[in-house]
């Protein structure tokens, strides 16, 4: 059963419900080429997508669906196959050198990656997988080929879209290449079902990539509500190394222009300088990623140049248990990104009972209840951010009230709900594929290409 709402575009957006007892997958191939769900989020290219893949995979397994994850091997110590959790197997696929490749080098290794994925399936009995779920466009390219070879539906989640990122670039950031835009268009054309995080993202797929709205499902991500929950702020501050009476604004994420940590630092600088008591602190938690290779050092230099080094603390990426303490130790968490398909940091912070100030972009309008669990800021004007930060920090009672509401708001989002919705999408994809497979395949079992509008580049 699906309920529909009108999105901003002309499309009808589908929200999948629970499984209806129809076609339930026994085993799925989950493809995540460029980053492993076992990697530490906040380092390299590991981020919210890693969390999404791991959380949904383990919960699918608990519901009796076997999950096999294919990701590129990045170390000689990676076991070819690893039983990462009950019912979850991770295949570390050799494709190119272990070191020295970033995300932009990987298109040249997709042939090697695809060949090894196909070989893994060929070693099994026919019909081993019931469905493929690919994450990010590189994985979609592999999934498209495997779908045609295995005769099973392809579900794809983009997580981010090049056309959207290129429309909102940070100063000094580099546009996503045409190769990626074309590759995304191909995957949108070929996937049997597209799963997105928000109605906004659904509209972007329809408007910018010509996606068929009937093949788009909105499945809202969640938070690990057992790990991320309200706790003792003073104890958390002691563990993080903060003083009990500090006033703490926190940034958590990969250090890259897209995430805009420099915007937050510049906005906080006049507030830190004017704090005679020296209690106001900015906590920056994360590692370099993508185009931000030299940004951590640049942020340190920027803090020095702004005269606020003493008020800024930099921490490396944190394991989930430690990250929960970082959130609980904070008075306010800031997510100033130029683009976010959803914004898991905002949701995790709220689950810990901490309000969020976030840029009003992408899925952050869903993750944050504006004026209730946090505030949304239009644009990235430094003075506007300073003013909004100052108003919030000057009103501790309002922050406490928002923190209470933040925990309530976050309870509406969980990975269990996300997984239930994904199972509904899988059922829909499998049923549609079974109904239409005969019409969509041609000679040699290869699927005929469907004609769809192409993105303009």
| Residue 178 is labelled as binding a ligand | no
**Residue 10 included in any domain:** no
Angle among Cα 432, 434, 440 to the nearest 5 degrees reads 85
What is residue 349's predicted lDDT score, i.e. its pLDDT?
98
Cβ atoms of 80 and 91 closer than 8 Å: yes
What residues pair up with 281 in beta bridges, in sequence order? 248
**Residue 57 included in any domain:** yes
| Residue 383 is labelled as binding a ligand | no
| Residue 46 is labelled as binding a ligand | yes
Q: How many angstroms separate the CA atoms of 78 and 66, rounded?
A: 21
**Residue 2 included in any domain:** no
**Residue 405 included in any domain:** yes
| Residue 103 is labelled as binding a ligand | yes
- CA proximity to 144, closest of 442, 447, 451: 447
Q: Are residues 198 and 253 in the same domain?
A: no
DSSP strand pairing (193-196 vs 216-218): parallel
**Residue 447 included in any domain:** no
Cβ atoms of 228 and 327 closer than 8 Å: yes
Q: Among positive and negative, which fits the CA dihedral 328, 332, 336, 342? A: positive
| Residue 160 is labelled as binding a ligand | yes
What is residue 37's predicted lDDT score, i.e. its pLDDT?
84
Give how far the C-alpha of residue 251 lies from the chain's centroid of Cα atoms, to the nearest Å: 16
| Residue 136 is labelled as binding a ligand | yes
Mean pLDDT, each 10-residue run in order, the chain (457 residues): 36 63 88 84 66 96 97 90 96 88 84 95 94 97 96 96 89 88 96 96 95 96 96 97 97 92 98 96 84 70 96 93 96 96 95 98 95 97 98 98 98 96 96 73 40 37
What is residue 217's predicted lDDT score, i.e. its pLDDT?
97
Residue 31 maps to which CATH number? 3.40.50.2000
| Residue 116 is labelled as binding a ligand | no
| Residue 15 is labelled as binding a ligand | no
**Residue 69 included in any domain:** yes
Q: How many angstroms separate the CA atoms of 318 and 197, rounded?
A: 25
DSSP 8-state secondary structure symbol assigned to residue 441 = B
Angle among Cα 218, 158, 425 to the nearest 5 degrees reads 35
| Residue 328 is labelled as binding a ligand | yes
| Residue 165 is labelled as binding a ligand | no
Q: Are residues 259 and 297 in the same domain?
A: yes
Q: Are residues 150 and 251 in the same domain?
A: no
| Residue 254 is labelled as binding a ligand | yes
- CA proximity to 144, closest of 196, 205, 183, 190: 190
Cβ atoms of 95 and 73 closer than 8 Å: yes
| Residue 52 is labelled as binding a ligand | no
Q: Are residues 257 and 273 in the same domain?
A: yes
Count Cα neighbours of 31 within 13 Å in the Cβ-side half-sphere.
31
Count: domains in the chain: 2
Contacts 24+ apart (CB under 8 A), 389-392: 389/249, 389/267, 389/268, 389/271, 389/332, 389/334, 389/357, 390/271, 392/332, 392/355, 392/357
Q: Are residues 46 and 106 in the same domain?
A: yes
Q: How many angstroms separate the CA atoms of 355 and 347, rounded?
A: 10
Q: Are residues 269 and 199 in the same domain?
A: no
Q: Are residues 279 and 355 in the same domain?
A: yes
E-strand stretches of 55-181: 66-72, 81-85, 88-93, 131-135, 154-157
**Residue 375 included in any domain:** yes
Q: Are residues 361 and 426 in the same domain?
A: no
| Residue 2 is labelled as binding a ligand | no
- Measuring CA to CA, how many Å separate 183 from each of 96, 139, 177? 20, 10, 10
Cβ atoms of 35 and 49 closer than 8 Å: yes
| Residue 47 is labelled as binding a ligand | yes
Q: Are residues 179 and 273 in the same domain?
A: no
**Residue 3 included in any domain:** no
| Residue 50 is labelled as binding a ligand | yes
| Residue 49 is labelled as binding a ligand | yes
| Residue 266 is labelled as binding a ligand | no
Q: Are residues 285 and 393 in the same domain?
A: yes
Cβ atoms of 73 and 32 closer than 8 Å: no
Q: How many angstroms separate the CA atoms of 168 and 52, rounded?
A: 24
DSSP 147-175: HHHHT--EEEE-SS-HHHHHTTPPTT--P
What is residue 18's predicted lDDT score, i.e. its pLDDT?
60
Cβ atoms of 110 and 138 closer than 8 Å: yes
Helical segments of 191-294, H only: 199-209, 233-240, 261-273
- Measuring CA to CA, how many Å separate 381 from each of 172, 255, 359, 360, 384? 16, 19, 11, 12, 5
Provide the residue range defining the domain that includes 177.
27-222+418-435
Enter the pTM of the model.
0.87
Angle among Cα 229, 231, 237 to the nearest 5 degrees reads 125
Contacts of 83 (CB under 8 A, 6+ apart): 89
Q: Are residues 120 and 59 in the same domain?
A: yes
- CA proximity to 454, closest of 186, 194, 190, 192: 186
- CA proximity to 39, closest of 72, 87, 88: 72
Q: Are residues 280 and 373 in the same domain?
A: yes
């Amino acid at each position: 059963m699906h309920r529909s709402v009108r999105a901003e575009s002309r499309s009808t957006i589908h929200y999948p419900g629970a499984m209806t007892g129809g076609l339930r997958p026994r085993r799925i191939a989950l493809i995540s080429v460029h980053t492993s769900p076992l990697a530490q989020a906040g380092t390299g290219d590991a981020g919210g997508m890693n969390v999404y893949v791991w959380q949904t995979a383990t919960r699918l397994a608990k519901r009796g669906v076997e999950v096999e994850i294919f990701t590129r091997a990045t170390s000689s110590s990676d076991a070819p196959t690893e039983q990462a959790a009950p019912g979850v197997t991770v295949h570390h696929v050799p494709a190119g050198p272990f070191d020295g490749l970033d995300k932009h080098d990987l298109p040249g290794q997709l042939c090697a990656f695809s060949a090894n994925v196909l070989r893994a399936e060929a070693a099994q009995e026919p019909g081993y997988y019931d469905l493929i779920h690919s994450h990010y466009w590189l994985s979609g390219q592999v999934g498209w080929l495997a779908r045609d070879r295995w005769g099973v539906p392809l579900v794809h989640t983009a997580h981010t879209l090049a056309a959207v990122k290129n429309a909102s670039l940070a100063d000094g950031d580099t546009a996503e290449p045409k190769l990626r835009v074309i590759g995304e268009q191909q995957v949108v054309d070929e996937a049997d079902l597209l799963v997105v995080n928000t109605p906004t993202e659904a509209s972007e797929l329809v408007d910018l990539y010509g996606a068929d709205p009937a093949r788009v499902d909105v499945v809202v991500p969640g938070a690990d509500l057992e790990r991320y929950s309200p706790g003792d702020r003073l104890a958390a501050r002691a563990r993080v190394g903060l003083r009990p009476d500090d006033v703490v604004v926190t940034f958590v994420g990969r250090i890259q222009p897209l995430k805009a940590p420099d915007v937050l630092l510049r906005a906080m600088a006049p507030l830190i300088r004017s704090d005679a008591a020296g209690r106001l602190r900015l906590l920056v938690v994360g590692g370099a990623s993508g185009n931000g290779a030299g940004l951590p050092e640049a942020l340190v230099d920027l803090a020095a140049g702004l005269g606020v080094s003493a008020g800024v603390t930099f921490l490396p990426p944190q394991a989930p248990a430690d990250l929960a303490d970082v959130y609980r130790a904070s008075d306010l968490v800031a997510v100033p990104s130029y683009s976010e398909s959803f914004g898991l940091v905002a949701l995790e912070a709220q689950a810990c009972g901490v309000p969020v100030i976030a840029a009003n972009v992408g899925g952050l309008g869903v993750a944050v209840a504006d004026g209730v669990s946090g505030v949304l800021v239009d644009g990235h004007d430094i003075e506007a951010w300073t003013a909004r930060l100052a108003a919030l920090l000057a009103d501790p009672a309002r922050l406490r009230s928002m923190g209470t509401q933040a925990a309530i708001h976050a309870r509406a989002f969980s990975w269990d709900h996300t997984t239930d919705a994904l199972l509904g999408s899988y059922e829909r994809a499998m049923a549609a594929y079974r109904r239409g497979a005969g019409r969509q395949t041609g000679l040699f079992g290869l699927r005929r290409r469907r004609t769809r509008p192409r993105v303009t580049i």
